[in-house]
Amino acid sequence: MYSRRIVGWQFAAHMRTDLVLDALRMALAQRAAGADVALVAHSDRGSQYTSHDYTQTLDDAGVLASVGTGDAYGTQSRLGVSMSLVSV
């Protein structure tokens, strides 16, 4: 996850939902209260990013989900998930 700097990360020997949830929560905790920008979480179509828990956490935090449409070897897959700031 990044916002011109790394704001959330996790390492594990698996790609389960709790891994990406930990990184997402870390990134959200770094966000300044009352920020005047919207957050967009862009990811590939991996099951951990489309799980109920992950999408519910995005909804609860008011983060817009963006899912890539590229092939398995596209940029989205290599990057995993990134959190970008978008002006509102």
Q: How would residue 69 be classed by pLDDT, with cut points 50, 70 and 90?
A: confident
Query: For residue 59, what pLDDT is reported?
Result: 92
Which DSSP state fits 68?
-
Beta strands in the chain (DSSP E): 37-43, 64-67, 81-87
List the domain boundaries for the chain.
17-87
Phi-psi region of 17 (alpha: psi -120 to 50; beta: other; left: phi over 0): alpha
Asked if 54 and 17 count as a contact pair (C-beta separation under 8 A), the reply is: yes
On the question of pLDDT at 6 being above 50, the answer is: yes
Q: How would residue 49 be classed by pLDDT, with cut points 50, 70 and 90?
A: confident
How many whole angstroms separate alpha carbon 60 and alpha carbon 43? 18
Query: For residue 36, what pLDDT is reported?
Result: 65
5 or 46, greater pLDDT:
46
